[in-house]
Chains A and B, each alone.
Chain A
Amino acid sequence: MVSVLKRGLAIITLLIIGYWLAQGLAGVPFGQDKMLVGQYYLDHVKQQTGAVNAVTAIVVNYRGFDTLGEVTVLFIASTGVAALLWGKRRKRTAKTEGSIVLTTGTRLLAPFVMLFGAYIFIHGHLTPGGGFPGGATIATAFLLMYMAFTVYEIPHRAFEKTEGLVGMGYVIVGLIGLAIGGYFLFDWIWQTWGWGHNNIGRLFSGGFIPVIYTIIGIKVGTELSGIIDNMLKEEVSE
């Protein structure tokens, strides 16, 4: 009886909230041209950032501060998981080995997945994608290894250090901008050095976007792999 009452109340509340939100949404002029900042980005992206992909130019260059924050959020997630699951001795306790088809398939597939991940983040300024999808793809390769082999483990020490180093790399790229151009996260490669100006649309262009996306790709890849590693291990008594 109580649960029916509860459910009924919940449904009524949700309907009221839904109606209220719909009222709000009805006032937003969708489908009309409402671009204010957006138009500026579209008009100036090539000339100002050297990127063909407007989304990455916004994410890394115009609003790079947000991306730095998002990278930090992911870093916190992986650090937090590691802090909460920390134990003196933790080991993988998986028991069933995968079938030979699975293990051989993984062996063959993993390098290709990694290669493709690297391709995604290196071409962030040209094709859809960028550091986050690229890094996630690389982490998928490690997840495959974890799933197929009962004993596989990533090299933790190296991964942790890489994670820290590339994170510092991002901030340092920003600080170099502060030193050269006078602004934090200033795109010194494009705006001061003018490097790649006659190369728009080719691999070596886009100012510091490819540099930062490589950093983000490595960082996201190592972080997600670290989370997988932490979640898959169990505490064992000594």
Chain B
Amino acid sequence: MNGQYASLLIALPLLGAFFVPLIKGFGKKAIKTYVLIITAIQTGIAAWVFQQVYSTGKPIIVMAGAWKPPVGINLYIGYFAALFVLIVAVASFLMAVFNFKAVDVEPIDKYAMLFLLLMLGATGMIATGDIFNLFVFMEITAITAYALTAYNKTGEAAEASLKYMILGGIGSSFFLIGVALIYGATGTLNMAQIAQLVGHINPTVAQVGLALIVFGLAVEAELFPLNAWAPDAYQAAPHPVTTMFSAFVVKAGLYAMARLLYLMSSVGTWHNVLKLLVVMATLTVVVAEFSALRQRNVKRMIAYSSISQVGLIALAFALGTQAGVDAGVFQMVNHAIVKVLLFLGVGYVAIQLGGAEIENFRGLGKKMPVTAFGITVGAFAAVGIPLFNIFWSKLRIILATLQAGYTWAAFLVLGASVVEAVYYFRLIHTIWFEGEGERISESAPLVAIVIALVILVIAIGIYPNYLWSISQKAGSDIFNVAQYVKNVPLMPLTGVGA
């Protein structure tokens, strides 16, 4: 089949979202089923793309409108994008199943549209090969995220969304100024061509542009001084949406940051930006872990834990070495799996028992044993205990950090992991060794998802090599810029600036 059909990854969720108003009258159940079907088809297409890219070893270049880059916009679906587009689709599909239980607030048709467009935005951010197109998809992701954060229409949700919106708005404007600077200096918006030309431009311009872009993306990627919106938004958003934020929205921001960072690695002042990022990432880990320690609301606690793990990924990407990038990608995949498991479990408990306060988790092992087991496995994995998947990625990240010479960062991050263990074990203790309760029947599809994810976590924990080799390929996709440029069929232009 023609590789251009990969553009269906963008076209299908759009078509799906625009179709929703026409089936609005058929009731809640029909709309939720419809979303389930669309996400299932999306997963199918993503699986096909994944299989294509990994079996041929060649990236799929989608050229919109048949215009060769840099004249037109191209999507670049290489190892990394193929892997993450699949993760986005699968996570959305699982959350579409969860929607049946979790979302009952009206208007459900609007929710369905926003849900599909959030998936679209993240897919586009990961797949695009054009820097302005990246901005457009980032806006799609961000604006759907603002609306979905406030979707529950409580005062708390409105406050969280407002905070997110103001920070996100400022972040996007900075990003746009950065794009304008880089366009002004190079005369092109295509990422591959920027990578070619960036060595020749004024280093001050490149540094300012890159710093502005990193700053703008840091809001989406939840790095330290700019992540104040995240815990509130995670707590207030509908449960499936929280899961999507943690599983892929933040990853899309991180990836975009890493991609642009490495594209501009020939800039003379590049290492200053890297150092800044290492500091921000380490602070993210430390601050988030200590904030999680004193939370009473389990959803908020896991939100902080998610932020700290994201900081770890950012640290890995900021090292500037091949080993670091590979480890970062590995952690991204593992973190997506574990956080889907944890947020799904906690969200389900919150629905059944009316809230995610820690009191509700007393005796959960007796009330909802399968969900409690899922949360426990997720917690073990998140702490990084051997035989669970995150152990391997944390180990790789720490090793890469030591190799790159940032001993203090590795030390601080390890220390923060001890703090993480404290609050996760406290949660596990509350679940299994406190309180009494009657058995509550658990919904079959959700139990199936929880068990499947638990098996995945343990399978990767025992046999990490397969996923590690995939992550290495995906990591080289980001790190090896020369290969990236070679893969994009740039049209030779005889402009003045060339």
Q: What 1/0 mask marks residues of chain B from 70 to 107 whose CB sits below 8 Å from any chain A CB?
A: 11110000000000000000000000000000000011
Q: Report the bound CA distance from A23 to B186 in whole Å.
A: 17
User: Contact between B65 and A177 (Cβ–Cβ < 8 Å)?
Assistant: yes
Shortest Cβ gap from B105 to chain A (Å): 9
Residue B50 at the A interface, CB < 8 A? Answer: no
Q: Of A59-67, A95-103, A111-119, which binds chain B?
A: A59-67
Q: For B111, give its contact among A37, A65, A83 (CB under 8 Å).
A: A83
User: Contact between B181 and A183 (Cβ–Cβ < 8 Å)?
Assistant: no
User: Contact between A79 and B113 (Cβ–Cβ < 8 Å)?
Assistant: yes
Residue B368 at the A interface, CB < 8 A? Answer: no
Q: For A24, give its contact among B19, B114, B181, B190 (CB under 8 Å).
A: B181
- Secondary structure at the B interface, as helix, strand, loop or mixed, is helix
User: Contact between B65 and A185 (Cβ–Cβ < 8 Å)?
Assistant: yes
User: Contact between B153 and A28 (Cβ–Cβ < 8 Å)?
Assistant: no
Shortest Cβ gap from A68 to chain B (Å): 7
Residue B66 at the A interface, CB < 8 A? Answer: yes
Number of interface residues of A (CB under 8 A): 60
Q: Which residue of B lies closest to A175 (CB)?
A: B11
User: Contact between B72 and A63 (Cβ–Cβ < 8 Å)?
Assistant: yes
Q: Report the bound CA distance from A61 to B187 in whole Å.
A: 19
- Interfacial chain A residues near B117, Cβ < 8 Å: 72, 75-76
User: Contact between A36 and B65 (Cβ–Cβ < 8 Å)?
Assistant: no
Q: Of A1-9, A136-144, A157-165, which binds chain B?
A: A157-165
Q: Of B135-143, B349-357, B380-388, B479-487, which binds chain A?
A: B135-143
User: Contact between A24 and B208 (Cβ–Cβ < 8 Å)?
Assistant: yes
Q: Which residue of B lies closest to A33 (CB)?
A: B496
If A84-B147, A171-B11, A186-B65 touch, whether A73 touches B136 (CB-CB below 8 Å) is: yes
Q: What 1/0 mask marks residues of chain B from 204 to 231 whose CB sits below 8 Å from any chain A CB?
A: 1101110000000000000000000000
Shortest Cβ gap from B74 to chain A (Å): 9
Q: Report the bound CA distance from A40 to B187 in whole Å.
A: 11
- Interfacial chain A residues near B496, Cβ < 8 Å: 33-36, 39
Residue B424 at the A interface, CB < 8 A? Answer: no
Q: Report the bound CA distance from A23 to B24 in whole Å.
A: 53
User: Contact between B498 and A69 (Cβ–Cβ < 8 Å)?
Assistant: no
User: Contact between B208 and A21 (Cβ–Cβ < 8 Å)?
Assistant: yes
How many residue-residue contacts, CB under 8 A, span A and B?
199
User: Contact between B151 and A83 (Cβ–Cβ < 8 Å)?
Assistant: yes
- Interfacial chain A residues near B177, Cβ < 8 Å: 21
Q: Report the bound CA distance from A28 to B7 in whole Å.
A: 35
Q: Report the bound CA distance from A140 to B218 in whole Å.
A: 37
Residue A168 at the B interface, CB < 8 A? Answer: yes
- The residue among A40, A70, A76, A187 with the most chain B CB atoms within 10 A of its own CB is A76
Shortest Cβ gap from B464 to chain A (Å): 37
Q: Which residue of B lies closest to A25 (CB)?
A: B181
Q: Report the bound CA distance from A40 to B133 in whole Å.
A: 19
- Interfacial chain A residues near B124, Cβ < 8 Å: 69
- Interfacial chain B residues near A86, Cβ < 8 Å: 106-107, 110, 153
Within 8 A of A (CB), among B302-354: none
User: Contact between B204 and A24 (Cβ–Cβ < 8 Å)?
Assistant: yes
Residue A167 at the B interface, CB < 8 A? Answer: yes
Residue B423 at the A interface, CB < 8 A? Answer: no
Within 8 A of B (CB), among A24-70: 24-30, 33-41, 61-66, 68-70
Residue A189 at the B interface, CB < 8 A? Answer: no
Within 8 A of B (CB), among A204-230: none
User: Contact between B144 and A76 (Cβ–Cβ < 8 Å)?
Assistant: yes
User: Contact between A64 and B64 (Cβ–Cβ < 8 Å)?
Assistant: yes
- Interfacial chain A residues near B190, Cβ < 8 Å: 37
User: Contact between B202 and A27 (Cβ–Cβ < 8 Å)?
Assistant: yes
- Interfacial chain A residues near B209, Cβ < 8 Å: 24
Residue B67 at the A interface, CB < 8 A? Answer: yes
Residue A80 at the B interface, CB < 8 A? Answer: yes
Within 8 A of A (CB), among B356-387: none
Shortest Cβ gap from A1 to chain B (Å): 26
Q: Report the bound CA distance from A186 to B63 in whole Å.
A: 9
User: Contact between A77 and B495 (Cβ–Cβ < 8 Å)?
Assistant: no
Q: Report the bound CA distance from A177 to B63 in whole Å.
A: 12
If A80-B147, A84-B153 touch, whether A62 touches B15 (CB-CB below 8 Å) is: no
Q: Report the bound CA distance from A79 to B2 in whole Å.
A: 34
Residue A181 at the B interface, CB < 8 A? Answer: yes
If A28-B181, A76-B114 touch, whether A184 touches B4 (CB-CB below 8 Å) is: yes
Within 8 A of A (CB), among B1-24: 2, 4-5, 7, 10-11, 14-15, 17-22, 24
User: Contact between A36 and B187 (Cβ–Cβ < 8 Å)?
Assistant: yes
Shortest Cβ gap from A21 to chain B (Å): 7
Shortest Cβ gap from B417 to chain A (Å): 34
Residue A182 at the B interface, CB < 8 A? Answer: yes
Q: For A36, give its contact among B15, B17, B497 (CB under 8 Å).
A: B497
User: Contact between B22 and A161 (Cβ–Cβ < 8 Å)?
Assistant: yes
User: Contact between B4 and A37 (Cβ–Cβ < 8 Å)?
Assistant: no
Shortest Cβ gap from A208 to chain B (Å): 10
If A24-B181, A69-B133 touch, whether A37 touches B71 (CB-CB below 8 Å) is: yes
Contacts A66-B132, A168-B19 known; 18 new A-B pairs at CB < 8 A: A35-B187, A37-B70, A40-B491, A40-B495, A61-B67, A63-B73, A65-B130, A69-B124, A69-B139, A80-B114, A80-B146, A83-B111, A83-B114, A84-B147, A84-B153, A161-B22, A164-B21, A178-B7
B→A interface (CB under 8 Å): 2, 4-5, 7, 10-11, 14-15, 17-22, 24, 62-67, 70-73, 106-107, 110-111, 113-114, 117, 120, 124, 130, 132-133, 136-137, 139-140, 143-144, 146-147, 150-151, 153, 177, 181, 184-190, 201-202, 204-205, 207-209, 491, 493, 495-498
10 intermolecular pairs with C-beta atoms under 8 Å apart = A20-B208, A63-B72, A66-B133, A73-B136, A73-B143, A161-B21, A164-B20, A183-B63, A183-B66, A184-B4
